[in-house]
Structure 1
Amino acid sequence: MSLDFCAIDFETASWDRASAIQVGIVRVRDRQVVDQFATLLRPLPGFDEFSDAAIEIHHITPEMVARAPYWRDCYSAVRTFIDEDRLVSYNARFDGQVFASTSLISGIDDASVEMGCALTWAQRTLTGLSNHRLATVAAHFGIELTNHHDATADAVACAQVVIHLATIYEVDSIDELARLANGQFSFYQADKKTLAAYLADQTHH
């Protein structure tokens, strides 16, 4: 069995999980990144306030996403790209909630996603590091990360970290890696703030 999966990364306008403004996804086949899907995203009204702190991190401004598609406009293409692959991110609690929260407020029925967390796998595998941030772990493995906080660049780095971890455990299955790294795939739903706002809105209609 070859090591096949997709890695995903989001950037957001603020700390609100429903404010996705960029997504990058890469497909891995037999330990090689073979394809990618990437786009800027226009956040929906009510979730489109950009924080200065977020802009300082990813350098994406409101003007840059003004003509970008909404998440609902590219959701079908995202699902088609992922297909039946296992989905992994570096900090799945964040990216999983962004995926689910943005889907929920976009009116997408299936506002949940199953995702593995490469951060958790790295934390439980690599000792002696000062921290387990993506940039630190990438440097540990000699992975080039020249455009950190660009969603595609981070998705590629995440994928390469997973490939290195699979080599450490000598496995060719993403599920076996998750099992041995003691970090199973989890379902992520919309964060409580987004869910509460959504349910309140539904009661007024």
Structure 2
Amino acid sequence: MAHNSPFDRSVYTRANERVGCTAPTYRWEDTVGLSRRCLPGLQNHKLHTVTDELGIDFFNHHDAFADAVACAEIVQVLSQRAGHAGFDELWPSQPTAGAVRTARRTNRTRPPSGFAGRSRV
């Protein structure tokens, strides 16, 4: 689970490819899509906007662990609000990541925008 999980999935897949591995098949869920469905009136669905709306305490945004905790808390709050017993009720059944087609860029010589100063995957 991640906020904008298609991005995370593409990085994960690409990193595995770079080292010659096939990425394991996992279930990927996205709190951006979830927040769009459950909180349609928000100005935007950025992670900090969603956490503010749900009353989730401030966290160190863009820290991987803090972002993961924030996503878990989003799921917990939205699940409780909807009266669901658990995680699986928030998302319709989906195939695992291995069965989902992801866009791939080839022959990339520069990292995508937003990666300035970070090592490439």
TM tier relative to shorter chain: 0.7 to 0.9
Structure 2 residue identity aligned to 1:149: H
The partner residue of 1:109 within 22, 47, 57 is 22
Larger radius of gyration: 1
SS in 2 for 1:192: coil
> Does 1:156 find its partner at 2:69?
yes
Partner of 1:178: 91
SS in 1 for 2:20: coil
Partner of 2:104: 192
Instruction: Tell me how many residue pairs correspond in the alignment.
Output: 106
Q: Quote the offset at 1:189 in angstroms.
A: 6.1
Q: Quote the offset at 1:114 in angstroms.
A: 2.6
Partner of 2:49: 136
Q: Quote the offset at 1:97 in angstroms.
A: 1.0
Report if the CA contact (8 A) 1:115-1:186 is conserved.
yes
Listed one character per residue, the Cα deviations across residues 26-77 of structure 1 (whole Å, up to 9, x for unaligned) are xxxxxxxxxxxxxxxxxxxxxxxxxxxxxxxxxxxxxxxxxxxxxxxxxxxx
Q: Which has the higher contact order (CA 8 A, sep 6+)?
A: 2
Partner of 2:116: none
CA distance in 2, matches of 1:141, 1:93: 23
Aligned-pair identity (%): 32
Q: Quote the offset at 1:128 in angstroms.
A: 1.8
Partner of 2:32: 119
Normalised by the length of structure 1, the TM-score is 0.46
Structure 1 residue identity aligned to 2:63: D
Structure 1 residue identity aligned to 2:17: L
Partner of 1:93: 6
Structure 2 residue identity aligned to 1:129: L
In structure 2, relative to structure 1, the CA distance for the partners of 1:102 and 1:113 (3 Å cut) is farther
SS in 2 for 1:132: coil
In structure 2, relative to structure 1, the CA distance for the partners of 1:189 and 1:197 (3 Å cut) is farther
Q: Quote the offset at 1:173 in angstroms.
A: 2.6
Listed one character per residue, the Cα deviations across residues 76-120 of structure 1 (whole Å, up to 9, x for unaligned) are xxxxxxxxxxxx111111111111111111222235543011110
Partner of 2:117: none
Gapped runs of 5+ residues in structure 1?
1-87, 199-205
Q: Quote the offset at 1:186 in angstroms.
A: 5.3
Structure 2 residue identity aligned to 1:151: A
